[in-house]
Amino acid sequence: MRTTSTLATLAAALVLSACSTSDAGTTDLAPAPGPAGRATSSVAADVTEVQPGRPGEPTSTVVGAAEQRWNHDDIAFVQMMLPHHRQALEMAALAPDRAEDERVLALAERIAAAQAPEVLVLASLLAERGVDVPEPGEDPRKYDHAEHGHHAMQGMLTTAQLAALAAAQGADFDRLFLERMVDHHAGAVAMAADVRRTGASQRVAELALDVQAGQAAEITRMAELLRDLR
């Protein structure tokens, strides 16, 4: 599972709080109400995070790393990526009963193992900031922020495309699964690149980088499999 330490840090470092929009287009976290209506600090100013280094590199500590500002593009990315991941899991769940090539089945299992934990992280990030969390079964278009002048959700399969994938079997399923998942992953990579350019949250940027790197590598692998199957 890729970058589990980053995901764990993301899920653990945030705390529940309300947010209000500032003039700069970012959100400032207001103190969360405590017992008997008393306000409590949402994030300690001197929080210290331990960040693991890459293999062979030492760990480092960052003081005051718990940031307090997001902008709309950060929120939009997390809200859109949640149903995006859920659809990838829905597609991967079709493989055990339909895939013929063991490599396709292994890829589907890898996608499910990587994205299922990320769904939990994405939902936690939104819930802890008091932002609407997309629920399973909701229309993904409800969380597409393109009509509001922000980045669009990309790579999602239509209902008809998902039904066609579910109806395929054997070698036909293998090819269609790879083709659709390449498009799906390409959409996630583009969304991640967008928020890394225009977002304000370092944590969201780190999560986006993880999505971008991991899914780009899987696109390369799927393209290789497609060449073998054709």
Residue 139: what pLDDT?
A: 86
Rounded CA-CA distance 88/143 in Å is 16
Residue 141: what pLDDT?
A: 83
Cα 81 → chain centroid: 5
Cα 6 → chain centroid: 13
User: Token match 């002048």: residue?
Assistant: 149
Residue 38: what pLDDT?
A: 30
Residue 41: what pLDDT?
A: 30
* E runs forming strands in 52-94: 60-63, 69-71
Residue 224 has a CB neighbour count (10 Å cut-off) of 12
Domain map (residue ranges) of the chain: 70-229
Residue 218 has a CB neighbour count (10 Å cut-off) of 19
Among 3.30.750.24, 3.40.50.720, 1.20.1260.10, 3.40.1390.30, what is the CATH number of 70-229?
1.20.1260.10
* pLDDT digits (tens), the chain, 230 positions: 444 444 444 444 433 333 333 333 444 433 333 333 333 233 333 344 455 555 555 655 544 444 568 999 999 999 999 999 999 999 999 999 999 999 999 999 999 999 999 999 999 999 999 999 999 988 888 887 877 767 889 999 999 999 999 999 999 999 999 999 999 999 999 999 999 999 999 999 999 999 999 999 999 999 999 999 97
- 120: Cβ–Cβ under 8 A, 6 or more apart, which residues? 11
Rounded CA-CA distance 64/201 in Å is 14
Residues in the chain: 230
Q: Which two tokens stand for residue 166?
A: 């579910």
Q: What share of the chain is helix, strand, coil (3-state, %, to 5)?
A: 60, 10, 30
Phi, psi of 33 (to 5 degrees): -65, 135
**CA torsion, points 87, 91, 94, 99, in degrees to nearest 10?**
-170
Sheet of 69-71, strands arranged across: 18-21, 26-30, 69-71
Residue 64: what pLDDT?
A: 45
Closest by Cα among 117, 130, 116, 87 to 7: 117
User: Token match 């300690």: residue?
Assistant: 44
DSSP letters, 125-192, are HHHTTTPPPPPTTS-GGGG-GGGGTSPPP-SPPPHHHHHHHHH--HHHHHHHHHHHHHHHHHHHHHHH
pTM (2 decimals)? Answer: 0.71
pLDDT tens for 161-170 read 999 999 999 9
pLDDT tens for 55-94 read 555 655 544 444 568 999 999 999 999 999 999 999 999 9
Residue 76 has a CB neighbour count (10 Å cut-off) of 24
